[in-house]
Structure 1
Amino acid sequence: MPMLNRRALLKTGAAGIAASTLASPLIAQNRSIRIGSYGGYFEDSFKTHVYPEFTKATGIEVESITQPNSSDWLVTLQQAVAAGNIPTDISLFARDTMIKASRIGDLIAPLDMAKITGAGNLDSYFVFEGNDGPQGVGAMSWFSAMVFNPNEVETPASWADFWDSSLFEASLGLGRNYNAGLLDFTAATFFDGAETMMSNDGIVAIIEKVAELKPNVALWWTAESQMEQSMKNGDVVAGQYYLDVANLMALDGFPIKPTFPKEGNLQDYGSWCLTAGSDKGDEAAEFMNFSSEPSTQALMSRKIGTAPLVDKAMTDLTDDEFNFVSGAPAIKPAYEAYLDNETFIKESWDKMLAEV
């Protein structure tokens, strides 16, 4: 899913962050671990705010490794594992990439969950069960949300409102890519959610429903900047956008407000995975425990702008802090459908967009 690509550009808590030297443990030890994450501000935020706290708590030094946020990383891992020279002990994977890695085999190692008791703080959905058992522990998440201009329209109660031309004719901004979320929103609103995406007939029915929406769309956006500018200048009055960025824009005084309609917003997430062949299983377990702690989840929400994977009541986040990055209910993307039937979905989607 492309929603992961934006995390490297996240502005929350990242402005002015420079590459930093990781903190040394309080007591000199030889324990260390290499952790991969997406570069730029995202990685810098981990190096500045998260890894030093882990080192302070455990004495385990962290070497931060920049990794791609795409399936390209799987190619790198395949070559490295085959050569016996793995680049990281832990990698950060989106769920779809994690599914691919599990299907390929011998890229990510099964986890000993008895050593990762902190994962019990997470919903079981965020502990990924691969072909070889548990292979991923949720790290953080983010939302693609319904947004609207509060100066122009009332708060929509449902995604179904977007199909009402009396409210939104030629005024919506929606993601153009087939896997940008609109299929998932539509499936959750008018069908049986991800289950409907598992058959060709279901996919066709969802895309036909999206086609009914076309007269209300002013912008099919592929870059964040397009939607941002269109909301600022009033070309669109509602649509889908990233929750945290929308809140940042609102704080800057622009006419945009995110909301959680009754069907929910799309929640994507990343997971920590242990690289096959790593001899740092114990250190990885300690880091995954640390990451799963409510205090760490709250730290990441405050400093990186990601949504926590633990219940808000377990954290010390204020309502405002929590609502800035998260909410309910959540719609889970149809990951397996996008992987198993990508060509049919993409071709059907592109044909729908091309039709006048």
Structure 2
Amino acid sequence: MIKNGHLHHGFTRRSFVESTAALLSVPFVAKATAAWAQDKLVGSGEVVVFSYGGSYTQGARNYVYEPFTKATGIAVVDVAADVAEPQVRAMARAGRVDWDVALVDGQNYPNMHEAGFFQPIDYGLWDDEALKGVPQSARFSDAVVAFRSTTLLTYDERSFPKAAPQNWADFWNVKAFPGPRGFSAIARHMVLALAADGFPISDRWPLTDDKVDRALKKLEEIKPNIAKWWTAGGEPVQALINREFVMTSCYDGRALSAIRQGAPIRMVWSGANLVYVYWTVLKGGPNNANAQKFVAFLNRAQSAAAFTLGTNLTGPNVNQLQHLPADLVPLLSITEGNASQVVAQDDAWLAAKRPDGKTNIDHLQERWLAWRAQ
């Protein structure tokens, strides 16, 4: 939905990670020592970090924040909200920035970057393993990917004991794979229909008007088989478990959580839509030096693995894979075979304004709502 001029995901980040932290076991958390942190990250005082609250905060604190404090001597103070962007803007306008680090959605980053809200990231504090493990594409001048969220096809394996769906074309193939479907009610997820229509995924973004026309035409074919256009992140997983859907689009973190609890759900990475959420150091924050150390610490391989274990959200450092349980690695978006099949959405295009003054986000939402109302 559109709220305060920005497209929200139809679910809160808090709900996205609800009930995930307890799944994963503490022994995989890296042992944090001052020696491991190295002298350049040791400090004192505190760093004020935005958090989504709930299980996210619990998992992040247990697996990453407390080890950071033990290693560096810097205390982490949580400030919880569903989203950070409105408060970051308000603090900047007021000239009083009380936070040090915020999580910013990819589609909001371009305009906030242009407004000058963020400090440059001090990559000089990063160790060699972090610089090599975090791709250059994930490291901006004033932001670095915190985690990846992927919308992908998931299915109930009980419904397909023999041949199972392998791609979005199979999602549309109701003869070979009969049964009710679920699909996201979020406008930008219409791009998944392009994968089903044979559109080259490398050319999927930007989602220009002709591609929107093609996506909506393809969605007309499957519309009678959509049992529910889901909005909350927990809905598709629960519907699969309850056998209300045989397959659905779903967030990878939700599917991962359910699978690790024994749910008969499988993920299909082909043609999935990838979005990024960024760590940012706020300009004018009270503890800038500590904020830079915090970001550097979180992007180390062992810290990245601990963050994944504690939150079920996957950061970009591929070197974390060697520190994770073997059964978890195949379920992550950064694993090579999975990463090669997903498509990152074009956040700069989504945030850009059209000739009529509306953003592309707003335009997509209008097209989507009009089609849904037919």
* TM-score bin, normalised by smaller chain: 0.7 to 0.9
Equivalent position of 1:111 in the other structure: 121
CA spacing shift, 1:192–1:135, aligned 2, 3 Å: farther
Instruction: Report the more deviating stretch, 287-296 or 165-174.
Output: 165-174
Equivalent position of 1:316 in the other structure: 323
Aligned: 1:291 with 2:298: yes
Pairwise CA distance, 1:252? 4.5
CA spacing shift, 1:187–1:102, aligned 2, 3 Å: farther
Aligned: 1:56 with 2:70: yes
Aligned: 1:125 with 2:137: yes
RMSD of aligned Cα (Å): 3.0
How is 1:79-118 mapped onto 2 (pairs within 5 angstroms)? 79-103=90-114, 105-116=115-126, 118=130
1:260 counterpart SS class: strand
CA spacing shift, 1:224–1:275, aligned 2, 3 Å: closer
Q: Deviations over 1:207-237 (max 9, x none)?
A: 2222222133222112244423432332221
Q: 2:170 aligns with which of 158, 161, 167?
A: 161
Equivalent position of 1:335 in the other structure: 347
C-alpha separation in 1, matches of 2:259 and 2:145:
29
Q: Deviations over 1:180-204 (max 9, x none)?
A: x3x2323345324465434222222
2:290 counterpart SS class: helix
Q: Which segments of 5 or more consecutive residues in structure 2 lack a partner in the other structure? A: 1-7, 24-31, 36-41, 353-359
Q: 2:276 aligns with which of 265, 269, 273?
A: 269
C-alpha separation in 2, matches of 1:4 and 1:268:
15
Equivalent position of 1:245 in the other structure: 254
C-alpha separation in 1, matches of 2:116 and 2:226:
45
Q: Deviations over 1:55-77 (max 9, x none)?
A: 122222221222332xxx43322
Q: Deviations over 1:7-36 (max 9, x none)?
A: 444322248xxxxxxx9x99x964321111
- Alpha carbons 1:127, 1:136 under 8 Å: kept: yes
Pairwise CA distance, 1:95? 1.1
Q: Deviations over 1:64-111 (max 9, x none)?
A: 222332xxx4332233234332121111111112223113x1322233
Equivalent position of 1:67 in the other structure: 81
CA spacing shift, 1:148–1:345, aligned 2, 3 Å: same
Instruction: Report the more deviating stretch, 37-46 or 224-233.
Output: 224-233
2:280 counterpart SS class: strand
Equivalent position of 1:45 in the other structure: 59
C-alpha separation in 1, matches of 2:156 and 2:346:
29
Equivalent position of 2:355 in the other structure: none
Which amino acid is 1:217 matched to? I
C-alpha separation in 1, matches of 2:287 and 2:343:
35
2:187 counterpart SS class: coil
Q: Which segments of 5 or more consecutive residues in structure 1 lack a partner in the other structure? A: 16-22, 129-133
> May I ask how many residue pairs the two structures share in their alignment?
336
Q: 1:236 aligns with which of 217, 227, 245?
A: 245
Pairwise CA distance, 1:146? 1.3
CA spacing shift, 1:205–1:273, aligned 2, 3 Å: same
Equivalent position of 1:131 in the other structure: none
C-alpha separation in 1, matches of 2:298 and 2:216:
38
Pairwise CA distance, 1:316? 1.8
| Bigger relative CO (Cα 8 Å, ≥ 6 apart) | 2
Equivalent position of 1:220 in the other structure: 229
C-alpha separation in 2, matches of 1:169 and 1:46:
40
CA spacing shift, 1:199–1:229, aligned 2, 3 Å: closer
C-alpha separation in 2, matches of 1:115 and 1:29:
13
Q: Deviations over 1:129-150 (max 9, x none)?
A: xxxxx11012222332211121
- Alpha carbons 1:302, 1:321 under 8 Å: kept: no
C-alpha separation in 2, matches of 1:315 and 1:278:
35
State TM-score, norm by structure 1: 0.83
Equivalent position of 1:352 in the other structure: 371
C-alpha separation in 1, matches of 2:274 and 2:82:
21
CA spacing shift, 1:195–1:220, aligned 2, 3 Å: closer
Identity among equivalent pairs (%): 21
C-alpha separation in 1, matches of 2:259 and 2:73:
40
Pairwise CA distance, 1:314? 5.2
